[in-house]
Amino acid sequence: MMGRFLSIVVRGCIVLVGLGLLGAPVFAQGNGPARTPPMGWNSWNHFACKVTEADVRSAADALVSTGMKSAGYIYVNIDDCWQGTRDEKGVIHPNGKFPDMKGLSDYVHAKGLKLGIYSSPGPKTCAGFEGSLGHEELDAQSYAQWGIDYLKYDYCSFQGDFAAQMAAYEKMHEALEKTGRAIVFSLCQYGMDRVWRWGPSVGGNLWRTTDDISDDYNDMAYIGFGQNGLERFAAPGHWNDPDMLEVGNGRMNKDEYLTHMSLWCLLAAPLLAGNDLSKMTPDTLAILTNPEVIGVDQDALGSQGHRVAQEGQLEVWVKLLADGSKAVGLFNRGESVMPVTAYFRDIGVGDTASVRDLWEKKDLGVYSSSFTAQVPKHGVVLLKIK
Ligand code: GLA
């Protein structure tokens, strides 16, 4: 962990010098995958290394049966710990927990879902399984043959300087392109070297901006509220990734999960549920599938929100939407209920504006110059104002 932070500091200097990064980022806009932030499920936050094919099949089943698929959750992503060994030709084979990757992919695809997988540019993954170093093309071909639609490529054991790191990500990007299959490319190197500035240039559709999230309010809030300032690096096809969702994993309360989901949607973050979908409470499902809240995340403009006002523990965040309205989050990071005010001049709407509560799915009326709500401890009120 410490090594990662050190390399962020040390390598950050190299990036500044090496790329002279004072200008605006250049995005390769195309018609590739991930025009809106990817939505789906990932095995890591709940199952970690214990994940099996049966868990992945049941996640796919649950995406359909709970209505999450209809809400937009399409990717079923296997994280670390699926890998077995390479054969004499260097071809990677899954371990005994995943006896039939093609069969699993057929199963997932038959449900109208997509399958994701995980590897590393280094020799080993973070959990010590086989990485892709020196086998990039072979691995990309295996993924394509299995019908994989998404690759999370996790730095882990990779060794090398900044140039080597960029080259390693680019190498896998080229290998994926060569397969001719549309595969979302998810960079995971914890935000080192200001990855948001160069992620698109190595084919990244999304890039982790931070170290790992955990199911803890302070940790989630540190990551989520810390995203302010990265908004200019997000655009259709290229997203900042503050890590997967912890909603429903049990260690935050309802207000804290509402904050987590609201913030991730204002951030135009990928929405990868990380809970056990086969055992969800109605509250968890409601937080994950509110269509108006997801609409903020998936808005076609692809603009990432940012903080427009802060007073102690109270924050107001705004995301511009394609129809010209604003999604507005009133957040209370404090320890008791507090009134939070959004001033219309701060959020860039006219003197008079109509206000809708997105979690409550309720129009609140027309207001002049500001709107104030009582916001619970660690909670949020999420609005659409126009
Ligand atoms: C790293 C990543 C996590 C997860 C694990 C798997 O810690 O950041 O998201 O993929 O590796 O080992």
Q: Which two tokens stand for residue 177?
A: 């392109």
User: What is the domain range of residue 56?
Assistant: 33-297
Q: Are residues 269 and 155 in the same domain?
A: yes
Q: Are residues 288 and 323 in the same domain?
A: no
The answer to whether 239 and 208 are in contact (CB under 8 A) is no
Of the candidates 348, 356, 364, 363, the one whose C-alpha atom is nearest the C-alpha of residue 382 is: 356
Res 126: pLDDT: 98
- Cα of 80 to ligand 1 centre, how many Å? 7
- Cα of 44 to ligand 1 centre, how many Å? 7
14: pLDDT confidence band, cut at 50, 70 and 90?
Answer: very low
How many angstroms separate the CA atoms of 54 and 98, rounded? 9
Looking at the domain assignment, is residue 281 inside a domain? yes
Tens of pLDDT along 294-326?
Answer: 999 999 999 999 999 999 999 999 999 999 999
Please state the length of the chain.
386
- Cα of 1 to ligand 1 centre, how many Å? 12
Q: Which helix (H) or strand (E) holds 256?
A: helix 254-266
pTM of the model: 0.92
Could you give phi then psi for residue 315, rounded to 5 degrees?
A: -135, 145
> CATH code at 85?
3.20.20.70
> CATH code at 333?
2.60.40.1180
Torsion angle of alpha carbons 172, 174, 178, 179, nearest 10°?
30
Q: Is the CB of 127 under 6 A from ligand 1?
A: yes
Looking at the domain assignment, is residue 24 inside a domain? no
Q: Are residues 217 and 357 in the same domain?
A: no
33: helix, strand or coil: coil
Domain boundary among 240, 262, 297: 297
- Atom 6 (ligand 1) nearest CA: 80
Residues 6+ away with beta carbon under 8 Å from 370: 341, 342, 343, 344
The single-letter DSSP state of residue 305 is: P
- Atom 11 (ligand 1) nearest CA: 126
Domain boundary among 297, 323, 344: 297
339: pLDDT confidence band, cut at 50, 70 and 90?
Answer: very high
